[in-house]
Amino acid sequence: MRHKPLREQVIVVTGASSGIGLATARMAVERGARVVLAARSEDVLARIAAELGPGALAVTADVGRREDVEAVAEKAVAAFGGFDTWVNVAGLTVYGPLREIAQEDHERLIRTNFWGTVNGSLVAAEHLRRRGGALINVGSIASDLAFPFQGLYAASKHAVKGFTDTLRMELIAEGAPVSVTLVKPASVDTPLPDRARNYMDRQPTLPPPIYPPEEVANAILHAAVHPQRDIFVGGGGKLFVMGKEFAPGAYDELAPAIIALQKRSEPPRSPQGALHAPREAGRERGDPPTYVMRTSAYTRATLHPLATTAGVAAGLAATAALILGRRGRRPL
């Protein structure tokens, strides 16, 4: 399956007010697409749409509410006659031991991360069945791995993977002209830790290696034209998943180190985060205390059908060297 060039597409992006969603919306406009931006942060979203120009439409929506998502689709049809690609990016996290996290925080996270993806996917698929196009869901390497102190985040991303795989199979069975891609980033330099609900005694961060949000945006927009079933963003993430598959018990024993790598040395800045109300929107990047990779050679290689095995292996080897080089360092 092959789709229209980006310059001929209308693309809907949820979670478009920050991080990966914002980077994707900006990159799509730069490449000639028209974009519908959806998020909860009304003022921030309006400012971004004005910055992007007449080809951008802002729609305030909480993806956890089906009626809000339906309104996004309706406004895309009213403004642009429809859409060709729908990207579900909206997501948040909660840091802390599962037994300490309040039930309402668990439920809100699942409503945004999982039900937001379900709502967006089903609404988009209904539209795309008639005209064809791409559905792209942003999962995570947490779709394949567990992360202690981000347990419900990992559970939500596992659920997103199961739902996405099932929907893809059903669309294939009915012969619908809709491609379904699951993008699985490793750690990405976004404001996600700053916007997280935090139960820890330290400011949260992401474990290395960390990749730029533009790398994820590039993978998403590639899939909008050249569909792929799954895309890992970051060779480091692929290595961790491969390691866990080969030795799941050994991965479990890394729990103390993984917890330590998610803590900065400073106290929490804003523990409530943006889980229940929008906050810290408008930025693509965060401020991680560790080095951010410039690109992912592994991901760039996998996006092109003529990529050689040697090219992919080189990307994984470079990432492995970075990870192994950090083994001797004491975690915070």
Residues identified as active-site: 153
* Cα(171)–Cα(144) distance, integer angstroms: 23
For residue 314, the SS3 value is helix
Which residues are registered as beta bridge partners of 58? Answer: 37
258: DSSP letter: H
95 forms bridges with which residues in the sheet?
A: 198
Sequence-distant (6+) residues with CB within 8 A of 174 are: none
**Nearest C-alpha neighbor of 85 from the set 27, 32, 11, 179:** 11
Cβ–Cβ < 8 Å for 93, 275: no
Query: From the centroid of its chain, how far is CA 132?
Result: 23
CB 47 within 8 A of CB 243: no
- What is d(CA 85, CA 140) in angstroms, rounded to the nearest whole number? 20
Please state whether beta strands 94-95 and 85-88 pair in parallel, antiparallel, or not at all (unpaired): unpaired
Cα–Cα distance for residue pair 232/237, rounded to 1 Å: 7
Distance between CA atoms of residues 167 and 157, nearest Å: 15
